[in-house]
């Protein structure tokens, strides 16, 4: 088990290195740089543009910029933001916590909604199943930003007294903070909950048709015991995988959700940094997000080993 | 609200101390300069006794990128520098130039301006403001190492000399009609203190508000400047900018009073939201920019004036205006927007402005394109919904005359790169506000990097533009720009579709004393107060 964990973690190093190259090159391959994006139609002499580029180190060859950046990242220095001239890491860490909180709430909601509705659909069938699948179909078709925009517009129109933009930092007012996170987390959770719900339903249905479940029922075990010990435990493996993999969707979704609800998280930061071509910030966020997704995948692998004996002996 | 200029006696008093030439222009004449657009009297009549105190929260759609007025290039920073810094001159509500840190100026000849400065003004850090700071500011602008965008605007300045602690002399290389306009424009003409480093993140100015704190993407907080030189202003204690990058969020925030004031890019959104509540005030838009269709005339088929004229004839500008902006929100456009010297009034006849599809087809046949013509990609700013809408309408209008284009919405940063290099066939990008028509038409000079990029080579137009720059007499200058616009329309070097405001401002009626400027720079927050 420890070996499994260590191998998986060791694999992260080359993957992250690859991600760093891609993040670095992709942003620079995009036409238009920070200097151009921020100046807009403001007229600047070509020499002035060159001076600004030189001051940001953008005039050097890309590989040289990359190696320099990588060396400093390994030493824990992610550089300074082009826009605010502050250290990237100082700006990113508080935002990372905000996104972590949002993702946690969204993930929790998605899991409860998804696993609950999936299980109900599979066990009760009939009308409940029809209802769950119809709702799932609709939610799958509506992107999270459309839902979020609707929430924002309708709240502004019909409940102007509910301050949906009053993001409160956790340490100022913990309850207010959680309250301000609910709607954004729900907007983020809905689409993800569909995937979990459909997978749970399929897994439970598949497991219920297995012989050992019939045997367990035939033995006269209580339905509750059959559900807990035979059905859910066995149906859990695919659900865990899916939930883990959905973290990437949650992180990706947070980009638009945070922008719409004006939550000062990592996603909002990324959105702004891409439009302004704020390279140091984009690179740092891509690296941090990749690390998180990889770490969660490792955790999913380990969790697998806990519930599924076959993985343990591989 | 407006500051009384110095009286003649005052001017005479200090006249002996400076060398006086034959010709001099007083503030009275100065008041006649600038653009001739009258502000709506109803807005100016928002009078009453100003109340002191309180917080005004403004919804902003973009973060500032740097707060050093000498080096900043982003339009999104202007809103903040407008509160933090002031210059020797400024624009008043009617878009006329009035004195600000200066109390008056003399022009002994066409190339010399001598400014007398206000005394007793302090920067936010307590440092006194003197003529040395003016010199320091312009030294920084002219220093190539600063890479200042203002350097292009003040290229006509030869020397800045401190005459006395509160008298400063500007000498120009040649007579320049644009000089005073740029001096009055924030951030180009504002004054920065000597010996203060890192204004980018720690701004220090002479403006009505002092920098307090900034959380990127969240809010920008300013406090009233207790030493501000204008009597009793500012009335507010605190000014907060909250950032909303999403238009729907901005609408919702204004409705729920999370913000007191904001602006919109779409007049239909603004009209809709104001209809929703009687307590919301929407500013009548002042046209400050145009929506152009730029051509690259280096290569066939657009090198042929008949093809360009055919495009102009195939265009129904009024239809675009009505569909995209709605009724009453803009006017038909030419090179210069109405709020500037010589601006187009939207109705006077211009060559090839009358829609005539048959004539367009005839010109195309003459040019050898009887069977129609495919111009390829028409590049537009994807982020500007209004631009994309207008481009779609134009696409259909041109198709009726047999000219095909393929709409290509593009992200702003790469699009600007192509635009500056002239690397396109047809493209639409609207300019942000500029204080002087020269900044707009100069892009068509054969010597300008952009003019070169699109293949401009019209010696007559070059001369017209260069001459207009040096005409100090306002009516004559206006006539010169009207001639330029007629010439550009006749040659159809580019199409101008409509003219419109950069932003549509809206605020709750308990915000009093505020006046929106055509420049969309919120300098009048200094006169705003809250009265609930």
The whole-number pLDDT of residue A309 equals: 66
Does A143 sit behind a cis peptide bond, omega within 30 degrees of 0 on the bond before it?
Answer: no
Which residues, in sequence order, are CB contacts of A272 under 8 Å at separation 6+? A83, A278, B63, B216, B217, B245
The whole-number pLDDT of residue A162 equals: 67
pLDDT surpasses 50 at A169: yes
Which residues, in sequence order, are CB contacts of A127 under 8 Å at separation 6+? none
| B514 dihedral zone (left: phi>0; alpha: psi -120 to 50; beta) | beta
What is the residue whose two structure tokens read 């159809």? B492
Q: Distance (Å) from the C-alpha of residue B335 to the closest C-alpha of chain A?
A: 16
The whole-number pLDDT of residue B182 equals: 94
Q: Which residues of A118-132 are buried (b: 16+ CB within 10 A; e: fewer)?
A: bbbbbbeeeeebeeb
Residue of B nearest to A32 (CA): B414
Residue of A nearest to B450 (CA): A43
| Interface residue B416 vs chain A (CB under 8 A) | yes
Q: Is A47–B258 a contact, with Cβ atoms under 8 angstroms apart?
A: no
List, for residues A211-253, the tens digit of each pLDDT value: 888 888 888 888 888 888 888 888 887 787 888 888 888 888 9
Q: Are strands B373-381 and B504-508 parallel, antiparallel or unpaired?
A: unpaired
Q: Smallest Cα–Cα separation from A149: which of A257, A275, A272, A249?
A: A257
- If one counts every other C-beta atom within 10 angstroms of the C-beta of residue B52, the result is 12
Q: Do the Cβ atoms of A173 and A212 come closer than 8 Å?
A: no
| Interface residue B428 vs chain A (CB under 8 A) | no
Q: Do the Cβ atoms of B411 and A32 come closer than 8 Å?
A: yes
Q: Is B432–A44 a contact, with Cβ atoms under 8 angstroms apart?
A: no
Q: Smallest Cα–Cα separation from B441: which of B458, B425, B423, B418?
A: B458
List, for residues A117-155, the tens digit of each pLDDT value: 998 998 888 899 999 999 999 988 888 889 888 888 888
* Distance, first Cα to last Cα, chain A: 10
Q: Is A155–B252 a contact, with Cβ atoms under 8 angstroms apart?
A: yes
Q: Is B415–A41 a contact, with Cβ atoms under 8 angstroms apart?
A: no
Q: Distance (Å) from the C-alpha of residue A78 to the closest C-alpha of chain B?
A: 18
| A155 dihedral zone (left: phi>0; alpha: psi -120 to 50; beta) | alpha
List, for residues A275-293, the tens digit of each pLDDT value: 888 999 999 999 999 998 8
Q: Among A45, A49, A149, select the one facing B151 at the smallest CB separation.
A: A45
| Interface residue B272 vs chain A (CB under 8 A) | no
Strand order of the sheet with strand B102-109?
B102-109, B112-117, B167-172, B157-164
3-state secondary structure of B128: strand
And the tokens for A142?
A: 């509506």
Interface test with A, best of B203, B256, B441 (most A CBs within 10 A): B256
The whole-number pLDDT of residue B82 equals: 95
- If one counts every other C-beta atom within 10 angstroms of the C-beta of residue A173, the result is 13
And the tokens for B18?
A: 């400076």
Distance of alpha carbon B174 from alpha carbon B196, whole angstroms:
32
Give the HSE-up count for residue B342: Cα atoms under 13 Å, Cβ half-sphere.
Answer: 28
Element of type H or E holding B506: strand B504-508
Indicate the range of A66-75, A97-106, A112-121, B277-286 predicted with least confidence.
Answer: B277-286
Residue contacts between A and B (CB atoms, under 8 Å):
152
Q: Is B414–A153 a contact, with Cβ atoms under 8 angstroms apart?
A: no
Confidence of residue A302 (pLDDT cuts 50, 70, 90): confident
| B91 dihedral zone (left: phi>0; alpha: psi -120 to 50; beta) | beta
pLDDT surpasses 80 at A312: no
Q: Among B66, B144, B242, select the one facing A51 at the smallest CB separation.
A: B144
The whole-number pLDDT of residue A97 equals: 92
Look at A255 and A169; give whichever has higher pLDDT.
A255
Distance of alpha carbon B54 from alpha carbon B388, whole angstroms:
41
The whole-number pLDDT of residue B24 equals: 40
The whole-number pLDDT of residue A313 equals: 52
Q: Is B249–A262 a contact, with Cβ atoms under 8 angstroms apart?
A: yes
Which residues, in sequence order, are CB contacts of B122 under 8 Å at separation 6+? B128, B129, B206, B227
Residue of B nearest to A88 (CA): B216
Q: Is A149–B248 a contact, with Cβ atoms under 8 angstroms apart?
A: yes
Distance of alpha carbon A155 from alpha carbon B358, whole angstroms:
52
- Each residue's pLDDT, cut to its tens digit, for chain B (532 residues) gives 334 444 333 333 333 333 333 334 444 344 333 333 333 334 444 457 899 999 999 999 889 999 999 999 888 899 999 999 999 999 988 888 999 999 999 999 999 999 999 999 999 999 999 999 999 999 999 999 999 999 989 999 999 999 999 999 999 999 999 999 999 999 999 999 999 989 999 999 999 999 999 988 889 999 999 999 998 899 999 999 999 988 888 888 898 889 999 998 888 888 888 887 888 888 766 788 999 999 999 998 999 999 999 999 999 999 999 999 887 788 999 999 988 899 999 999 999 999 999 999 999 999 999 999 999 999 999 988 899 999 999 999 999 999 999 999 998 888 988 998 899 999 999 988 888 999 999 999 999 989 999 999 999 999 999 999 999 999 999 999 999 999 999 999 999 999 998 888 999 999 999 988 877 789 999 999 999 8
Q: Which residues of B440-475 are buried (b: 16+ CB within 10 A; e: fewer)?
A: bbbbbbeebebbebbbbebeebbebbeebbbbbebe
Q: Do the Cβ atoms of B369 and B301 come closer than 8 Å?
A: yes
User: Which ipTM score applies to this complex?
Assistant: 0.78
């Amino acid at each position: 088990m420890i070996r499994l964990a260590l191998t998986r973690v060791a694999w992260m190093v080359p993957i992250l290195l690859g991600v760093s190259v891609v993040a670095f090159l992709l942003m620079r391959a995009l036409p238009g740089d920070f200097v151009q994006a921020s100046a807009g139609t403001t007229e600047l002499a070509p020499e002035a543009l060159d001076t600004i580029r030189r001051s940001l180190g953008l005039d050097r060859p890309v590989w040289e910029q990359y190696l320099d950046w990588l060396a400093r990242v390994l030493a824990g220095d992610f550089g300074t933001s082009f826009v605010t001239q502050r250290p990237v890491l100082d700006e990113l860490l508080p935002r990372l916590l905000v996104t972590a909180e949002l993702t946690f709430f969204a993930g929790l909601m998605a899991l409860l909604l998804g696993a609950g509705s999936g299980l109900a659909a599979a066990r009760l069938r009939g009308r409940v199943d029809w209802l769950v699948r119809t709702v799932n179909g609709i939610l799958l078709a509506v992107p999270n930003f459309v839902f979020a925009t609707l929430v924002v517009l309708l709240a502004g129109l019909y409940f102007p007294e509910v301050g949906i933009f009053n993001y409160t930092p956790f340490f100022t007012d913990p309850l207010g903070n959680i309250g301000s996170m609910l709607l954004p987390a729900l907007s983020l959770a809905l689409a993800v909950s569909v995937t979990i719900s459909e997978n749970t339903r399929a897994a439970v249905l598949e497991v219920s048709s297995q012989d050992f479940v019939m045997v367990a029922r035939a033995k006269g075990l209580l339905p509750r015991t059959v559900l807990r010990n035979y059905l859910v435990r066995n149906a859990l493996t695919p659900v865990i995988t899916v939930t883990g993999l959905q973290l990437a969707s949650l992180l990706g979704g947070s980009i638009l959700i945070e922008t719409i609800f004006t939550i000062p998280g990592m996603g909002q930061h990324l959105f702004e940094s891409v439009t302004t071509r704020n390279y140091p910030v984009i690179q740092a966020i891509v690296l941090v997000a990749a690390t998180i997704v990889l770490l969660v995948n490792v955790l999913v692998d380990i969790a697998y080993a806990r519930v599924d004996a076959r993985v343990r002996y591989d | 609200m407006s500051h009384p200029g110095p009286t003649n006696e005052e001017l005479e008093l200090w006249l002996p101390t400076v060398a006086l030439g034959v010709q001099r222009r007083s503030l009275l004449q100065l008041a006649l300069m600038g653009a001739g657009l009258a502000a709506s009297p109803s807005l100016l009549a928002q009078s009453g006794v100003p109340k002191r105190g309180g917080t005004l929260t403004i919804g902003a759609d973009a973060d500032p990128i740097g707060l050093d007025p000498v080096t900043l290039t982003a339009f999104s920073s202007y809103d903040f520098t407008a509160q933090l810094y002031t210059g020797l001159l400024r624009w008043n509500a009617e878009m006329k130039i009035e004195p600000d840190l200066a109390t008056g100026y003399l022009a002994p000849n066409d190339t010399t301006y001598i400014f007398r400065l206000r005394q007793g003004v302090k920067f936010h850090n307590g440092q006194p403001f003197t003529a040395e700071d003016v010199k320091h500011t312009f030294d920084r602008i002219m220093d190539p190492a600063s890479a200042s965008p203002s350097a292009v605007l003040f290229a006509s300045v030869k020397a800045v000399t401190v005459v006395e602690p509160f008298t400063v002399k500007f000498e120009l290389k040649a007579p320049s009609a644009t000089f005073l306009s740029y001096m009055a424009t924030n951030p180009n003409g504002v004054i920065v203190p000597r010996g203060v480093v890192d204004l980018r993140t720690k701004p220090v100015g002479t403006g009505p508000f002092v920098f307090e704190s900034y959380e990127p993407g969240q809010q920008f907080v300013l406090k009233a400047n207790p030493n501000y030189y204008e009597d009793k202003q500012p009335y507010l204690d605190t000014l907060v900018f909250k950032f909303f990058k999403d238009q729907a969020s901005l609408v919702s925030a204004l409705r729920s009073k999370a913000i007191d004031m904001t602006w919109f890019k779409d007049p239909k959104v603004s009209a809709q939201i104001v209809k929703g509540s009687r307590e919301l005030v929407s500013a009548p838009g002042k046209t400050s920019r145009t929506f152009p269709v730029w051509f690259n005339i280096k290569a066939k088929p657009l090198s042929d004036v008949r093809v360009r004229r055919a495009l102009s004839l195939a265009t129904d500008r009024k239809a675009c205006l009505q569909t995209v902006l709605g009724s009453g929100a803009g006017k038909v456009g030419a090179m210069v927007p109405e709020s500037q010297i010589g601006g187009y009034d939207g109705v006077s006849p211009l060559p090839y402005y009358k829609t005539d599809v048959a004539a367009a087809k005839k010109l195309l046949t003459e040019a050898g394109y009887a069977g129609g013509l495919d111009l390829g990609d028409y590049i537009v700013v994807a982020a500007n919904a209004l631009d994309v809408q207008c481009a779609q309408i134009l696409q259909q209008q041109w198709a009726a005359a047999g000219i095909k284009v393929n709409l290509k919405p593009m992200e702003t940063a790469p699009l600007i790169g192509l635009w500056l290099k002239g690397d396109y066939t047809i493209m639409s990008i609207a300019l942000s506000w500029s204080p002087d028509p020269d900044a707009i038409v100069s892009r068509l000079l054969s010597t300008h990097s952009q003019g070169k990029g699109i293949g401009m080579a019209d010696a007559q137009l070059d001369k017209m533009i260069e001459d207009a720059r040096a005409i100090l007499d306002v009516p004559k200058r206006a006539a010169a720009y009207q001639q330029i616009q007629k010439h550009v329309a006749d040659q159809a070097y580019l199409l101008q579709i409509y003219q419109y405001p950069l932003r549509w401002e809206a605020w709750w009626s308990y915000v009093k004393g505020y006046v929106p400027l055509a420049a969309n720079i919120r300098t009048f927050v200094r006169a705003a107060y809250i009265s609930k």
